[in-house]
Amino acid sequence: MFDPLPTWLARYQRWRRHAEVGFWVTVLLVQLVFNTTVTLIDARRAGLALPIWEPLVWELTSNLAVGLLIPAIAAFERRFPLRWSTLPRNLLPHLAGSVAFCLAHVAIMLALRYSIYALMGSTHRPGNLATQLLYEYLKDVRSYALILAAILSYRFLLLRAQGEARVLDAADPPAGEPPAPPGPAPAPSRPERFLVRKLRKEFLIAAGEIEWLQAQGNYVGLHVNGHDYLLRSTLSDFLEQLDPGRFVRVHRSYAANLDRVAEIEPTDGGDARLKMKDGSQVPCSRRYREALGGPMAVS
């Protein structure tokens, strides 16, 4: 029996992107206000007549540049995922990524500052560029690490709440069993059960109960009885493990269980929409429609 998806999580999924953007906007706004205030206080203590718009512009351009680069960091982490197993080989790419982040941050920040200063009838004088790059990198490498930590922590919490699936390990052969005779290698076994861990609970789902699959970055979403569980794999690699007579790719990002298709509804432009038996719908691109036997409905 499946552990029902918490109501709050089901509602949250509809607003997930808005919440993620809102989180980063809030963090950057708080940092903008805090750093601007601290800079003004330090200037007053040093007896400097610093107009309020200058530190505001400094922090605004810096935080805006960081905000524009956060999606790039998230995409880079999907390309070079940070896991205990991948850390040795992906640590160096992320070190290089922190340098690229700093260079992009400084370039965007300076371009914005020069433009804003010109609009204010003033001139921006950043000083020695090499010194500023070193200074900014010492800050940016920490920002890069904190952004990665936030992304990974958020993903971990979602996986704990949503449930993460994995293929059950194949059973070991009985002790004393003679080796297999020479000849063609047997066909690879197809996983029929998947173990799902969710909120300190574990349960099994059967491969035949999967309605459809969706590529989600480094994961595949398994849609089962109205719930979604994530399995760490690419869609192409995971489909190679499943029965090709049952699971068929129907879109660049989707695959469907043919036993669960109720109807194939053609759409304008040659594409189609699969209506599944559980009431959900899956897009089907024209490129993959031949695998479904054309536009006729499935009873």
Q: Which residues of the chain have a pLDDT value below 50?
A: 1-5, 169-175, 177, 183, 185-187, 294-299
User: Do residues 84 and 123 share a domain?
Assistant: yes
| pLDDT in the model for residue 105 | 95
Nearest CA to 241 out of 172, 164, 187 is that of: 187
Domain residues for the domain of 95 are 7-162
User: Do residues 130 and 201 share a domain?
Assistant: no
User: Do residues 78 and 214 share a domain?
Assistant: no
Q: Would residue 241 count as lying in a domain? A: yes
CA-atom Rg of the chain in angstroms: 26
User: Do residues 25 and 105 share a domain?
Assistant: yes
| pLDDT in the model for residue 229 | 78
Q: Would residue 171 count as lying in a domain? A: no
| pLDDT in the model for residue 82 | 80
* Predicted TM-score (pTM) above 0.75: no
Predicted confidence (pLDDT) per residue in 26-36, tens digit: 999 999 999 99
User: Do residues 121 and 229 share a domain?
Assistant: no
| pLDDT in the model for residue 198 | 61
CATH at residue 242:
2.40.50.1020
User: Do residues 26 and 89 share a domain?
Assistant: yes
User: Rounded to a whole number, what is the distance in angstroms from the first to the last CA of the chain?
Assistant: 27
Q: Would residue 204 count as lying in a domain? A: yes
| pLDDT in the model for residue 295 | 43
User: Do residues 42 and 158 share a domain?
Assistant: yes
User: By three-state DSSP, how is residue 96 classified?
Assistant: helix
Q: Would residue 173 count as lying in a domain? A: no
Which among 142, 162, 182 is the end of a domain?
162
User: Do residues 141 and 234 share a domain?
Assistant: no
| pLDDT in the model for residue 104 | 95
Contact (Cβ atoms closer than 8 angstroms) between residue 82 and residue 152: yes
Contact (Cβ atoms closer than 8 angstroms) between residue 231 and residue 238: yes
Which among 141, 162, 183 is the end of a domain?
162
User: Do residues 82 and 157 share a domain?
Assistant: yes
Q: Would residue 181 count as lying in a domain? A: no
Contact (Cβ atoms closer than 8 angstroms) between residue 84 and residue 132: no
Predicted confidence (pLDDT) per residue in 154-174, tens digit: 877 776 666 666 665 444 444
Strands 164-167 and 254-257: unpaired
User: Do residues 112 and 218 share a domain?
Assistant: no
Tokens of 2: 């499946």
User: Do residues 17 and 124 share a domain?
Assistant: yes
Which among 140, 162, 184 is the end of a domain?
162
User: Do residues 146 and 205 share a domain?
Assistant: no
- Please return the burial class of 87, using the count of CB atoms within 10 Å of its CB with bins 0-12, 13-18 and 19+: exposed
Predicted confidence (pLDDT) per residue in 197-220, tens digit: 665 666 677 778 888 888 876 778
